[in-house]
Amino acid sequence: MSTLSEVNSHSAIADDSPDAAAPEIQTTFSPEEILELLPHRYPILLVDKIINYVPGKLAVGIKNVTFNEPQFQGHFPGRPLMPGVLIVEAMAQVGGVILRQLPDSEKGLFVFAGIDKVRFRRQVVPGDQLTMTVELLWIKQRRFSKMQARAEVDGQLAAEGELMFSMVN
């Protein structure tokens, strides 16, 4: 069973020469790069960009909520609200960015294995920018993981909860 610390450990040989450059860690991802990482596509791709990424630890993603998204036709006419299930899915997709880049991770699809302690604190409406921060709490056997997720609008908590994932081949 592997732990998060085992996943984060690197077995690289140190090179102290002045010409040796440390590999640059990518900390942001464009929409095109997200499409390379996640299997989701319109209309269920719910992450527009990643604004902060710490490998094996956390990712912060942005979702620009717009009125022309298909869910607002029926949820609700005259008072559009982003469905809570889509907020949770958006947070999970940010978590997917972390999982898809873990060293030595097997190829496969990460799916929900559980959702705990999810609470909705503020409505999300067209025009809002949802900022989702997802932190990896643990990973076991490189196949099961748990994350803490938060979604905010203008610094106000909109949703939070624990998300569990399992890899399926």
CA distance 53 to 68: 29
Tell me the per-residue pLDDT of 6-50, one tens digit each, with 9 for 90 and over.
334 333 334 444 455 666 889 999 999 999 999 999 999 999 999
Instruction: Tabulate helix, strand, coil % of the chain (nearest 5).
Output: 20, 35, 45
Q: Using CB atoms within 10 Å of the CB of residue 71, give its burial: 0 to 12 exposed, 13 to 18 middle, 19+ buried.
A: middle
Active site residue 40: no
pLDDT value at 5 more than 50: no
Mean pLDDT of 85-99: 97
CA distance 36 to 45: 12
pLDDT value at 101 more than 80: yes
**Which domains does the chain show, CATH number per domain?**
25-168 (3.10.129.10)
E strand intervals along the chain = 49-54, 58-64, 109-120, 129-140, 144-153, 156-168
The residue from 40, 75, 143, 150 that is catalytic is 75
Tell me the per-residue pLDDT of 130-145, one tens digit each, with 9 for 90 and over.
999 999 999 998 889 9
CA distance 112 to 20: 41
Which pLDDT belongs to residue 22? Answer: 62
